[in-house]
C-alpha cells in the first residue's frame, strides 16, 4: 500500500464511481490506467497539468435530460417503473412497496446511508414478506484496491422471484427496438458494477450472492416520445471482465514492482493547490508506465489525449484501432508496416507471415489505384 | 376559468383601437412600476407573476397595434395574462392542489395538478423554500394559521424528502409506509378522474391539461386505459374506468398499507412534539434506534 501512496503523493485517493470502474473494464490491457487507478491518482488533474485536458464532464444539458427522465420514471412511487416491471417480469399486483433509501433525513454521510441500505437489504433478503419491492437510491460499497468506493445504482428491485434486480435508467432512446450499441454496452458495464457491489453486500451479510440477478432492467425512452420502456440485459460477460480487472488491480503489485522506487505522479501542489511540478518531469514519470492506447479510450479515460499524442509520436499501430493492431500483431509502428509492405525491410522469422500479407495488400493496392 | 379570462382579455381592445392602445400602454407602465417595487422588496415570486402579466399586456398591445383583423378573439381566450387567480399566494395555490390530490405529493405532482386544473402556472422552484418558511412560521406562533403546509413522515419519523402535506389532515394520511407511495399515487389518479368527471357533469369543458394529466396517470393504473390492444396510442381514458381500476388496485393494498400507517402514526404520536409531528423529527438518532 505504501508503494501506491508514494505513487499518488500527499493527496487523498480519488474515490471511484461506477462510471470510472466500468471504464476500467473497457481497456483491461492498459498498465498505465491500472496503476494510476489503483493508486487513486487524480487522472484529470494529471492530464490537465501535462497540457492534455480531457474532454470530460458531461454536457449540462445531457445531465439535466438524464435527471428529468429519471424523475419521470420514479414519479408517484415509481408508478412508471411498476408498470414496466409488471409488463416485463410479471410482477404481481400486491407487490408495490417503494422505499427511498436516501430518505434518512437531513444530509447524512455516505457511511450512514450505506449502513441504512445494508440494514434494509438484509431485512429484505431475510424476510421476503416484509420487504418493499423497489428500493430507490441505495448506496452500495465496493472495495477497489484497498479503498472503499460508494456507488449509487438508480433502483434495486426485489421480489421478482425472490431475486434482486438492478434497474438502470438511461435517457438514450430505443428506437424501434434498437439502441446505439456503444451506449447499451456502457450501461451494461456500469450496471455490472452495481450487480457486483450488491452481490458482495449479500455475501457479506451471509446470504446467497447469486440472489442478485445477472439480468439487469434497462429503462430507456421508447422511440421518439418520452415514454419509458424496459428491457432485460444480460451482464454476465461484463461481470466476468470486471471481476478479472478488479482482481488484477489488487495484484497491481506485479505491475508496480519493476517500476523505479522514486517514481511518483505527485503534482507538487503548493499551498494554493496549484500544481508546481515541472511538466517534463511529470511527463517522463507517466511514460514510465506503458499505456495501451485504443481509440475507444477517448470515451472513457482522462489521459486519452496524452496517450494518443504519445502513440502518434511513435507512429504506433495502436492509433488505427484495436482490430488493425491485432491483425498487425508484432508490428509496432506504421513505418515498420509500410517498410515490410514495400520490401525495404527484410522480415525476421516471426514476422514472415505478416510481411507476406502486407506485401500482398501492397500489390493489390497498387493494382487498384 | 378560461372563459372569464377570455372576456377579460377582450375588453381591452373592444372599443376603438387608439383608446385600447392608450389603456394598454397605461397598464404596461403601471405594471413596470409594480415590477420595480416587487424587485426592490425582493419578492421574486410576485415579480415573476407581474412579468408574466406584463408580457401578456405587451402581446395584447402588439395585436392591437397590428389592426383589428389580427386581434383574433379566439387567441385571447388562450391567454392567461392578468389572471386574478394566479395572484393568490403560492401557499394558497399549493393548498388548493393538495386538497384536490388528497394525499402527500411531490412538488412535480403539485405543479402538474395545479397547471392542469387551475389556470395560472405554478413554478416548481417556488415550492423549494415553502416548507421551511411554514416551519419557521409555525415555530414562531404555533397554530396561528388555519393550516400549514407540512411534511409527510417516513417510518423513521423524519420528514420525507420532497413530499408536501397539509397539517389539518389526520396523521395516518401524512405518514409514508412502504406501500403508501403507490396508494397515494392511486388516490391521486382517483381524485383527478373524479374532478374531470365533476367538470363534465357540470357541462364544463375539461381543460386539455386535465385530460393529459389523467391520461398520464391512467397509463400506470392497470386496467384503466381501454385495454392493452393499442400500445403507444394516447387515447383519452374514461374517468369512470380510471376510478374503478384504481379502486380495484387500492383494495389490494388497503389492509397492509393501513396497518403500516397506523404503526408509524402511533409511534409519531408517542415520540414527537407538535412541531416535529408536522415537520419531522430528529432523523439521526431515530434512524439508528428504530431500524
Give residue A95's region: left, alpha or beta (phi > 0; psi -120 to 50).
beta
What are the chain A neighbours of B132 within 8 Å (beta carbons)? none
* A351: in domain: no
Answer yes or no: do A53 and A64 share one domain. no
Residues in chain A with CB shorter than 8 Å from the CB of B158 are 103-106
Residues A114 and A151 in one domain: yes
8 A C-beta contact, residue A97 and residue B179: yes
Would residue A253 count as lying in a domain?
no
Give the model confidence (pLDDT) of B105-146 as tens digits: 988 888 888 888 766 667 667 777 788 888 888 888 888 888
A342 touches chain B (CB under 8 A): no
For residues A140 and A222, membership in a common domain is answered with: yes
Question: Is A286 within the bounds of a domain?
Answer: yes
Question: Considering the domain boundaries, does residue A364 fall inside one?
Answer: no
Cβ atoms A33, A20 nearer than 8 A? no
pLDDT band of B14, cuts 50, 70, 90 = very low
User: Of all residues in chain B, what percent carry a pLDDT higher than 90?
Assistant: 14
Co-location of A66 and A90 in the same domain? yes
Q: Are residues A228 and A105 located together in one domain of the fold?
A: yes
Interface test with B, best of A83, A97, A224 (most B CBs within 10 A): A97
Q: What's the mean pLDDT when you consider all of chain B?
A: 77
CA pair distance B8, B29, nearest whole angstrom:
19
Of the residues A243, A277, A302, the one at which a domain ends? A243
Give B161's contacts in chain A (Cβ within 8 Å): 100, 102-103
List helix spans (H) across chain A. 2-8, 18-26, 31-38, 43-49, 60-89, 110-126, 181-204, 236-250, 253-256, 279-287, 297-300, 304-314, 322-327, 334-341, 352-368
Q: Are B79 and B58 in contact (CB under 8 A)?
A: no
Residue B228 confidence (pLDDT) above 60? no
Is the pLDDT assigned to residue B10 strictly greater than 70?
no
A235 and A95 co-located in one domain: yes
pLDDT at residue B183 greater than cutoff 90: yes
Please give the Cα distance from B144 to B132 (Å, whole number): 16
Cβ distance B116 to A64 under 8 Å? no
The position carrying cell 454496452 is A185
Residues 214-243, chain A: which have Cβ within 8 Å of B? Answer: 222-223, 225, 227
- Domain count of the fold of chain A: 2
Is there a contact between A98 and B253 if contact means CB atoms under 8 Å apart?
Answer: no
Q: Is residue A343 part of a domain?
A: no
Q: Max alpha carbon distance in chain B (Å)?
A: 74
**ipTM confidence:** 0.71
Greater model confidence, A221 or B8: A221
Please tell me the predicted confidence (pLDDT) of residue A29. 75
The CA angle B194-B196-B197, to the nearest 5 degrees, is 60
Model confidence pLDDT, tens digit, residues A231-263: 999 999 889 888 887 877 666 777 777 888 888
pLDDT band at B182 (very low <50, low <70, confident <90, very high): very high
Range 127-156 of A in CB contact (< 8 A) with B: 132
Which residues of B are less than 8 Å from A97 in CB distance?
178-179, 182
Q: What phi and psi values does residue B262 have, to the nearest 5 degrees?
A: -60, -40
For position A219, what pLDDT does the model report? 93
pLDDT above 90 coverage of chain A, percent: 9
Between CA A341 and CA A327 the distance in angstroms is: 14
Computed over every residue of chain A, the mean pLDDT equals: 83
Task: Flag if A105 and B159 touch (Cβ within 8 Å).
Answer: yes
Q: Which of B105, B220, B283, B289 has the most A C-beta neighbours within 10 Å, making it the best mutation to test the interface with A? A: B220
Residue B160 is given by DSSP the state E
A53/A76 same-domain check: no
Q: Which of A94, A98, A120 sits opposite B252 (nearest CB)?
A: A94
Q: How confident is the model at residue B235 (pLDDT cuts 50, 70, 90)?
A: low
Q: How confident is the model at residue B19 (pLDDT cuts 50, 70, 90)?
A: low
Residue A250 lies in a domain: no
Q: Is residue A336 part of a domain?
A: no
Q: Are residues A50 and A75 in the same domain?
A: no
pLDDT at A274 over 70: yes
What does the pLDDT look like over A70-122, one tens digit per residue?
A: 988 988 888 899 999 888 888 888 888 888 887 666 656 778 888 888 888 88
Inform me whether the C-beta atom of residue B187 falls under 8 Å from chain A C-beta atoms.
no
pLDDT tens-place string over residues A333-365:
888 888 888 888 887 877 888 888 888 988 898
Task: Based on the fold, state whether residues A88 and A140 are members of the same structural domain.
Answer: yes
Does the pLDDT of residue B288 top 70, yes or no?
no
Contact: B161, A102; criterion CB under 8 Å: yes
**Domain shared by A109 and A196, yes or no:** yes
Q: pLDDT at residue B255 above 60?
A: yes
Tell me the C-alpha to C-alpha distance, in Å, between residue B272 and each of A34, A85, A322, B160, B162: 52, 38, 64, 15, 20
Residue A20 is given by DSSP the state H
pLDDT at site B226: 63
C-alpha cell at B209: 391539461
Phi-psi category of A205—alpha, beta or left, where left has phi over 0 and alpha has psi -120 to 50? alpha
Residue A113 is part of which domain span?
60-243
Q: Is residue A276 domain-resident?
A: yes
Residues A297 and A221 in one domain: no
The predicted structure's pLDDT at residue B186: 93
Residues A176 and A27 in one domain: no
Amino acid at each position: 500500500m505504501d508503494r501506491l501512496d508514494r505513487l499518488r503523493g500527499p493527496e487523498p485517493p480519488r474515490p471511484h464511481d461506477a462510471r470510472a470502474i466500468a471504464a476500467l473494464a473497457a481497456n483491461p490491457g492498459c498498465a498505465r490506467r491500472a496503476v494510476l487507478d489503483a493508486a487513486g491518482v487524480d487522472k484529470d488533474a494529471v492530464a490537465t497539468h501535462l497540457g492534455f485536458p480531457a474532454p470530460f464532464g458531461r454536457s449540462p444539458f445531457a445531465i439535466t435530460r438524464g435527471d428529468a427522465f429519471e424523475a419521470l420514471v420514479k414519479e408517484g412511487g415509481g408508478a412508471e417503473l411498476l408498470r414496466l416491471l409488471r409488463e416485463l417480469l410479471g410482477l404481481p399486483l400486491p407487490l408495490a412497496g417503494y422505499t427511498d433509501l436516501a430518505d434518512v433525513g437531513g444530509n447524512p454521510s455516505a457511511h450512514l446511508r450505506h449502513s441504512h441500505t445494508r440494514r434494509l437489504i438484509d431485512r429484505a433478503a431475510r424476510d421476503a414478506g416484509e420487504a418493499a419491492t423497489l428500493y430507490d437510491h441505495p448506496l452500495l460499497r465496493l472495495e477497489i484496491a484497498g479503498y472503499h468506493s460508494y456507488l449509487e445504482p438508480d433502483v434495486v428491485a426485489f421480489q421478482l422471484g425472490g431475486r434482486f434486480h438492478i434497474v438502470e435508467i438511461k435517457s438514450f432512446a430505443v428506437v424501434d427496438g434498437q439502441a446505439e450499441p456503444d451506449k447499451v454496452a456502457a450501461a451494461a458495464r456500469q450496471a455490472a458494477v452495481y450487480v457486483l457491489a450488491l452481490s458482495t453486500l449479500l455475501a457479506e451479510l451471509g446470504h446467497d450472492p447469486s440472489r442478485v440477478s445477472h439480468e439487469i432492467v434497462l429503462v430507456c425512452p421508447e422511440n421518439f416520445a418520452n415514454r419509458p420502456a424496459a428491457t432485460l440485459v444480460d451482464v454476465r460477460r461484463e461481470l466476468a471482465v470486471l471481476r478479472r480487472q478488479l482482481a488484477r488491480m489488487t495484484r497491481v503489485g506485479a505491475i508496480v514492482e519493476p517500476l523505479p522506487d522514486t517514481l511518483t505522479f505527485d503534482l507538487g501542489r503548493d499551498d494554493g493547490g496549484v500544481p508546481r511540478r515541472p511538466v517534463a518531469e511529470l511527463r517522463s514519470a507517466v511514460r514510465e508506465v506503458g499505456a495501451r492506447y485504443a481509440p475507444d479510450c477517448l470515451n472513457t479515460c482522462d489521459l486519452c489525449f496524452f496517450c494518443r499524442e504519445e502513440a502518434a509520436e511513435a507512429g504506433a499501430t495502436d492509433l488505427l484501432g484495436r482490430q488493425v493492431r491485432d491483425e498487425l500483431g508484432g508490428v509496432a509502428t506504421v513505418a515498420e508496416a509500410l517498410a515490410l509492405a514495400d520490401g525495404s525491410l527484410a522480415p525476421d522469422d516471426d514476422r514472415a507471415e505478416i510481411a507476406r500479407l502486407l506485401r500482398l495488400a501492397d500489390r493489390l493496392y497498387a493494382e487498384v489505384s | 376559468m378560461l372563459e372569464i379570462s377570455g372576456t377579460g382579455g377582450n375588453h381591452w381592445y373592444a372599443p376603438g383601437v387608439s383608446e385600447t392602445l392608450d389603456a394598454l400602454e397605461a397598464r404596461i407602465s403601471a405594471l413596470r412600476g409594480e415590477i420595480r417595487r416587487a424587485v426592490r422588496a425582493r419578492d421574486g415570486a410576485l415579480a415573476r407573476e407581474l412579468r408574466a402579466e406584463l408580457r401578456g399586456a405587451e402581446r395584447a398591445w402588439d395585436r392591437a397595434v397590428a389592426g383589428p383583423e389580427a386581434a383574433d378573439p379566439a387567441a385571447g381566450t388562450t391567454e392567461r395574462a392578468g389572471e386574478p387567480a394566479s395572484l393568490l399566494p403560492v401557499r394558497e395555490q399549493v393548498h388548493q392542489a393538495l386538497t384536490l390530490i388528497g394525499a402527500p405529493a411531490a412538488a412535480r405532482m403539485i405543479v402538474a395538478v395545479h397547471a392542469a386544473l387551475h389556470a395560472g402556472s405554478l413554478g416548481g422552484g417556488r415550492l423549494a423554500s415553502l416548507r421551511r418558511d411554514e416551519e419557521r412560521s409555525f415555530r414562531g406562533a404555533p397554530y396561528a394559521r388555519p393550516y400549514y403546509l407540512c411534511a409527510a413522515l417516513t417510518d423513521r419519523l423524519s420528514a420525507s424528502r420532497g413530499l408536501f402535506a397539509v397539517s389539518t389532515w389526520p396523521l395516518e394520511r401524512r405518514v409514508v409506509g412502504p406501500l403508501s407511495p403507490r396508494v397515494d399515487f392511486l388516490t391521486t389518479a382517483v381524485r383527478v378522474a373524479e374532478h374531470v368527471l365533476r367538470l363534465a357533469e357540470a357541462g364544463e369543458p375539461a381543460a386539455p391539461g386535465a385530460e393529459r394529466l389523467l391520461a398520464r396517470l391512467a397509463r400506470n393504473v392497470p386496467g384503466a386505459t381501454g385495454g392493452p390492444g393499442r400500445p403507444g396510442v394516447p387515447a383519452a381514458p374514461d374517468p369512470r374506468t380510471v376510478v374503478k381500476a384504481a379502486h380495484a388496485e387500492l383494495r389490494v393494498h388497503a389492509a397492509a398499507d393501513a396497518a403500516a400507517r397506523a404503526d408509524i402514526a402511533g409511534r409519531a404520536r408517542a415520540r414527537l412534539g407538535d412541531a416535529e409531528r408536522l415537520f419531522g423529527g430528529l432523523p439521526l438518532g431515530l434512524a439508528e434506534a428504530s431500524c
